[in-house]
Amino acid sequence: MGRYLVRRLLQLVPVFLGTTFLIYWLVWSVPGDPFAGKCGEKPCPDAYVATMTAKYHLDENVFVQYAMYMKNLLQGDFGTTYSGLSINDIIATAYPNTLKLAVVALTIEAVIGLTAGVLSGLRRNGFLDNLVLVSTLFLIALPVFVVGFVLQWLFGVQWGIVRPTVSSAMPFSELIIPGFVLGSASMAYIARVARTSIAENRRADYVRTAIAKGLPMRRVVGVHLLRNSLIPVVTLLGTDLGALMGGAIVTEGIFGINGIGRQVYRSIVTKESATVVSIVVVLVLVYLLMNLLVDLLYAALDPRIRYE
C-alpha cells in the first residue's frame, strides 16, 4: 500500500502540470482586450497598459507566462487582480463558503441517494422502487435553477420556513435547501447506481450463502451486500465533490452565497483571467486528491482488491 501511495502521488505531478497548463493556455487565449473597461468609459492610457503588460508578463509567450505563474504558485502566491486585490484573499474568503455548501450537498445526496437506492434495490418492481425511479428521473430532467427557484419560493417566501437567501454567517440550517438544490441531480444518479448495484449483488453466490447460514437479513445487507455494492457509489461521491464546487455558480447566485462560483462568474465578466485560473487550479487539486482517496477506499470496501 505504501509503494502504491507513493507511485500515485508521483503520478499526480504530471497530471497536475498538464491540466493546469491546459487551463492556463485556454483562459489566456480567449480573445479580447484584458484592460477594456478598467479605466472607465475611456480607453486606458498607454503608460498604464505598458505597466500592466510588463507586470503580468503579457508580452511573453504562454510557456514563459505559465512558468512564472507556477513559480509564484509554488511559493503560495496566486497573484493579484488587475485592480490590485490579492487572489489569495479572494480564495480564502470564497473557498470555505463553497466547500461548506459542497459538503452539505454531498452529505444530503449520500444519505438520501444511498438510502433510496438500497431500499429500492431490495424491493425491485414494487411501489417504492417505482417511486424512486420516477422521482430521480424528475430530478435529472429538471435544471438546477428551476429546482432552486421553486424551493426558494416554497420554503423561503411562501411558507417562511427558511431564509430566502443565506446569511453571511452561513449556518448549516440555512444550507440545507441550497445543498439539496446543488446535489439534487447527483443524488438521483447515486440512487439509481446504488439500486442497480444492490439488485445485481443480491443474486451473487456469497449473498445466498450468507442467507443459507441463517444470518440475519440486516447483517447480510449491512455487512456483505452493501459493502460490495458501494464501490460505484463511492466513485461517484468521490469525484462529485470537485464537480459540486465547480458547478455551484447557479446555486450560489440564487441563494446569495459568496463562494468561488460567484467569483468565477465575476472574473469571467471582468476578464480577470488570473483569478479564473487560480480558482480552477484549486478545483483541480480537489479532483486529484479525491480520486486518490477513492482508489484507496476501494481496498477497504472490497477485500479482493489489494495494492501491491
Please answer whether residues 301 and 234 qualify as being in contact, where contact means their C-beta atoms are separated by less than 8 angstroms: yes
Let me know if residue 109 belongs to a domain: yes
For the beta carbon of residue 285, count every other beta carbon within 10 angstroms.
Answer: 15
Q: Which domain, by its residues, includes 53?
A: 15-74
Bridge partners (DSSP) of residue 86 are 80
Question: Mean pLDDT score of the chain, rounded to an integer?
Answer: 83
Amino acid, res. 73: L
Let me know if residue 4 belongs to a domain: no
Amino acid, res. 36: A
Same domain, 53 and 179: no
Let me know if residue 84 belongs to a domain: no
How far is 43 from 37, CA to CA, in rounded Å? Answer: 7
Same domain, 21 and 136: no
Same domain, 264 and 292: yes
Same domain, 166 and 64: no
pLDDT tens digits for range 168-190: 888 888 889 999 999 888 899 99
Query: What's 150's domain CATH number?
Result: 1.10.3720.10
How far is 301 from 117, CA to CA, in rounded Å? Answer: 18
Domain end call among 25, 40, 74: 74
pLDDT tens digits for range 247-297: 788 888 888 888 888 888 888 777 778 888 888 888 888 888 888 887 777
Let me know if residue 306 belongs to a domain: no
Same domain, 44 and 102: no
Q: Could you tell me the three cell numbers for 120?
A: 429500492
Same domain, 164 and 37: no
Same domain, 66 and 98: no
Tens place of pLDDT per residue across the chain (308 aa): 677 778 878 888 888 888 889 888 888 777 766 776 667 667 777 787 788 778 777 778 888 888 888 888 888 888 888 777 888 998 888 888 888 998 999 999 889 998 898 888 888 778 888 888 899 998 888 888 888 889 999 988 888 888 888 888 888 888 899 999 998 888 999 999 888 888 888 877 777 887 787 778 778 777 777 777 788 888 888 778 777 877 788 888 888 888 888 888 888 777 778 888 888 888 888 888 888 887 777 766 666 665 55
Let me know if residue 6 belongs to a domain: no
Same domain, 66 and 162: no
Same domain, 44 and 181: no
Let me know if residue 85 belongs to a domain: no
Q: Could you tell me the three cell numbers for 58?
A: 503579457
Let me know if residue 131 belongs to a domain: yes
Total residues found in the chain within this entry: 308
- How many structural domains compose the chain? 2
